[in-house]
Amino acid sequence: MAEAAYRKGDMVELLITDMADKDECFGKLECGMGVMVGGMLAVGDRVSARVTRVRQRYLKAIAVEVLEPSLDRTEPVCGDFGVCGGCKLMHIRYPAQLRYKEKKVQDALIHIGGFSEPPMLPALGAPSPVHYRNKIEFSCSGKRYLRPEELSMDELLQPKNFALGFHAPGNFEKVIDTARCHLATEEMNSVLRLTRDFALENAMEPYMAREHTGFLRNLVVRSSVHTGEVMVNIVTSWYDGELMESYSAHLQSGMQGVPLTLVNNVTNRRNTVATGDVEYTILGSGTISEKLGLLEFRISANSFFQTNTLQAEALYGRIQDACELRAGDRVYDLYCGTGTITLWLARHAERAIGLEVVESSIQDARSNAESNGIGNAYFFQTDLKDLGAMMEQLEEHGRPDVIVTDPPRAGMHPKALETMLKLGARRIVYVSCNPASLARDGKEIAGAGYRLVSVEPVDMFPHTAHIESVACFDYSASGGCSSE
């Protein structure tokens, strides 16, 4: 039907009624035909769009002009919006972002999980939608991404052969020369500015990914919310001690009064990953300290740590509330990483067991338990798909009363999910960064006799489409929601 009425290149006008994945929105034409529209749009926008593809039941189009802007629109604070691929929702007011993310989780539970009326709680917003990241990774390249307005210039204001910032979307070679990131702290942006100045003054050759040449690869900056410490990790292709000492002096001169540590990760690998094979500590201890609630953690350059400190504390509080731990409870934390959730819950349980496949994470988790004086947390390395074989080793700790599972984006491995359901915990708290995975695994959990009693989205990353969720399943619940 659509083929006969519309052709590629046709112009259509429609109202945007919903958000979709992959930078697309959804609307309908007056005839009822659905249209997936690409572009930085908001629900409530009336747009003119050009048809790019004709399907049997819907059209695909790209927005050309916003004819009537939505009331949910706002002016992005970042000048790189629309060029940088990081903050794709910055043109939408923050309360509307939260409504969109809440609906995204609800829709997945209904349409993928088969839950008729998911017991949704309002999305928990971040204290601030800007300056919330405690870690930012910048890339360096000899191929600077040229903004649209620069393509028509006879003479560029900046050289094309140096850029320090973020990769252009879909391009591993070109980098946007970023003046400042609005998700970073002011201290992080100062490090970015000082590093760019130093690199240009000292003719530091930027890394070229395709050619595998050049010295300066990445700049990774971490900042502690609770201590004010800043870590600078400069990633290079080889070590130059004299240059690093000069760089250290340059940073200290430009950031007086800020507790600094500087490390140099060195690698000659043919990739753009911001880690090294050898690490040199140039200034300070090489680590910074951060707190989550009453817990304190030492963070090294390549350690994993929650990127939004304040919202991580809120997330862990919601996980604790969902667990409803009782005196004498044993809690298992699956996919425990460096043990932050395990240690948070250990203070409220008889014992907490953390399971994780990455050996270095288990070592960090044990170290974190020791440094925080927590003696009732135990950590084991295992691939969660082999959880069944691991149960004999865990027998001394007893079967879990409560299970917290925080799997990767793809969700739980089917074998891990099957074994988890056989453990007979009275409550399962599923922490998810992907609504679709939560819905699929949630359907299996509900099928095993558990009832979904609450789902709370937690916004860890404002201005992006990502959303975390805390879903609580109770085996003894008399109410709640069932999956059809």
Q: What is the pTM of this model?
A: 0.90
Active site residues: 433
Architecture of domain 135-300: Beta Barrel (2.40)
Burial status of residue 167 (CB atoms within 10 A of its CB: 0-12, 13-18, 19 or more): buried
Per-residue pLDDT, 478: 42
Distance between CA atoms of 465 and 134, rounded to whole angstroms? 19
φ, ψ for residue 212, nearest 5 deg: 60, 50
- Please state which CATH class domain 98-128+308-474 belongs to: alpha beta
Per-residue pLDDT, 476: 67
| Residue in the structure block whose two tokens are 């028509």 | 152
Per-residue pLDDT, 30: 87
**pLDDT tens for residues 336-345?**
999 999 999 9
Per-residue pLDDT, 1: 44
Query: Euclidean distance between the first and final Cα of the chain, in Å?
Result: 33
Residue spans of the domains in the chain: they are: 2-68, 98-128+308-474, 135-300
**How do the pLDDT tens digits run along the chain, 484 residues long?**
444 588 999 999 999 999 988 788 999 998 889 999 998 899 999 999 999 999 988 999 999 999 999 999 999 999 888 888 789 999 999 999 999 999 999 999 999 999 999 999 999 999 999 999 999 999 999 999 887 777 666 666 677 889 999 988 878 789 999 999 999 999 999 999 999 999 999 999 999 988 999 999 999 999 999 999 999 999 999 999 999 999 999 999 999 999 999 999 999 998 888 889 999 999 999 999 999 999 999 999 988 889 999 999 999 999 999 999 999 999 999 999 999 999 999 999 999 999 999 888 899 999 999 999 999 999 999 988 888 888 888 888 889 999 999 999 999 999 999 999 999 999 999 999 999 999 999 999 999 999 999 999 999 999 999 999 999 999 965 444 445 5
Would you list which residues are annotated within the binding site for S-adenosyl-L-methionine? 306, 335, 356, 406
* CATH 2.40.50.140, domain 2-68, yes or no: yes
Residue type for position 312? A
SS (H, E, C) the chain: CHHHHCCCCCEEEEEEEEECCCCEEEEECCCCCEEEEECCCCCCCEEEEEEEEECCCEEEEEEEEEEECCCCECCCCCCCECCECCCCCCCECHHHHHHHHHHHHHHHHHHCCCECCCCECCCECCCCCCCCCCEEEEEEECCECCCHHHCCCCCCCCCCCCEEEEECCCCCCCEEECCCCCCCCHHHHHHHHHHHHHHHHCCCCECECCCCECCEEEEEEEECCCCCCEEEEEEECCCCHHHHHHHHHHHHHHCCCCCEEEEEEECCCCCCCCCCCEEEEEECCCEEEEEECCEEEEEECCCCCCCCHHHHHHHHHHHHHHHCCCCCCEEEEECCCCCHHHHHHHCCCCEEEEEECCHHHHHHHHHHHHHCCCCCEEEEECCHHHHHHHHHHHHHHCCCCEEEECCCCCCCCHHHHHHHHHCCCCEEEEEECCHHHHHHHHHHHHHCCCEEEEEEEECCCCCCCCCEEEEEEECCCCCCECEC
Distance between CA atoms of 431 and 411, rounded to whole angstroms? 10
Per-residue pLDDT, 484: 53
Per-residue pLDDT, 3: 47
Per-residue pLDDT, 155: 61
Q: Same CATH topology for 98-128+308-474 and 135-300?
A: no
Would you list which residues are annotated within the binding site? 306, 335, 356, 406
